[in-house]
Amino acid sequence: MPIILAIETSSELASCALLLDAPRGAKVLSRESGGVRTHSQSVLPMVQELLNEAGIKLADCDAIAFGAGPGSFTGVRTACGVAQGLAFGADLPVLPLLTLAAMAEACRARTGAVEVLAVLDARMNEVYWAQYRYDGGWTTVVEPVLSAPEAVQPLAVDGLAACGNGFAAYPQAFEGKAFAAGAHPDIVPHARELALLAAPALAAGQALPAAAAQPLYLRNKVAYTSAERQAINAAKAGA
């Protein structure tokens, strides 16, 4: 089992996780911190706590995974910047992973569902969503999409489970829709699931050099806001 550090800051929740080998299988240590404005300040201390708890150094890791998106612009840039900085310093590869896939993994762990719809609040009256199927590994049924919440149209399958804070953000848009019944609105992207997804991704040869780390954007935007510049500069300085 590889040792993988995972970083996720695409939503209001910042989290870090460390995947370790253990006598009874994979073990995941994790930390989390709420408050999107503090993500760039909270990530590096959480990383250090995890490494200290595991008794290892960053260079002992095999790769650094991060939530590449979709998600908030500041959030995905922060995760990418911190992962890239750490990877450069320790000469490690990076694994950009989808936030919606991490949500699907969390939903499967909670419900046992193998057909999952993940819906993440994108603000501005829009959501990011995707549909996944698990059969020993994840396959994408519907690629990540940015749309109005009313336009979410998953493929009809038996046993479809829905999750994500998009359901809590726009309850009226999903009212009366069968796929939204019993949705789990408290599930958001977390580094714990990213770490678990990172192991097969690393085995499949999906790791990239640190210089190739890039966020995934589904909404066009060409300029950084002042707040985004401050967050990215802080992340780079900390890294």
Class of residue 84 by CB neighbours under 10 A (exposed 0-12, middle 13-18, buried 19+): buried
CATH number at residue 111: 3.30.420.40
Q: Number of folded domains in the chain?
A: 2
Whole domain around residue 176: which residue ranges? 100-180
Claim to verify: residue 59 and residue 175 sit in the same structural domain: no
Find the range with the poorest average confidence among 41-45, 53-57, 118-122. Answer: 41-45
- Mean pLDDT, residues 207-215 taken together: 96
User: What Cα–Cα distance (Å) separates residue 13 from each residue in 82, 85, 188, 234?
Assistant: 16, 21, 8, 18
Model pLDDT, residue 76: 94
Claim to verify: residue 133 and residue 115 sit in the same structural domain: yes
CA atoms within 13 A on the CB side of 162: 22
Claim to verify: residue 171 and residue 193 sit in the same structural domain: no
Q: For residue 220, what pLDDT band results from cuts at 50, 70 and 90?
A: low
- Mean pLDDT, residues 168-178 taken together: 97
DSSP 56: -
Claim to verify: residue 25 and residue 143 sit in the same structural domain: no
Claim to verify: residue 85 and residue 8 sit in the same structural domain: yes
Give the span between the Cα atoms of 160 and 120, in whole angstroms: 17
Claim to verify: residue 121 and residue 137 sit in the same structural domain: yes
Backbone angles phi, psi at 181, to 5 degrees: -65, 125
Class of residue 7 by CB neighbours under 10 A (exposed 0-12, middle 13-18, buried 19+): buried
Claim to verify: residue 10 and residue 90 sit in the same structural domain: yes
Class of residue 197 by CB neighbours under 10 A (exposed 0-12, middle 13-18, buried 19+): buried
Give the span between the Cα atoms of 205 and 86, in whole angstroms: 20
User: By the 8 A CB rule, do 231 and 74 touch?
Assistant: yes
- 105 or 38, which is more confident: 105
Retrieve residue 127's tokens.
């959501």
Claim to verify: residue 17 and residue 93 sit in the same structural domain: yes
- Mean pLDDT, residues 188-202 taken together: 98
Claim to verify: residue 8 and residue 117 sit in the same structural domain: no
User: What is residue 100's three-state secondary structure?
Assistant: helix
Claim to verify: residue 14 and residue 86 sit in the same structural domain: yes
pLDDT in tens, 136-171: 999 999 999 999 999 999 999 999 999 999 999 999
- Mean pLDDT, residues 101-109 taken together: 98
Question: Residue 107 contacts by C-beta under 8 Å, 6 or more apart in sequence?
Answer: 113, 116, 118, 161, 162, 163, 184, 187
Claim to verify: residue 90 and residue 197 sit in the same structural domain: yes
Q: Where among 156, 180, 204 does a domain terminate?
A: 180
Claim to verify: residue 62 and residue 39 sit in the same structural domain: yes
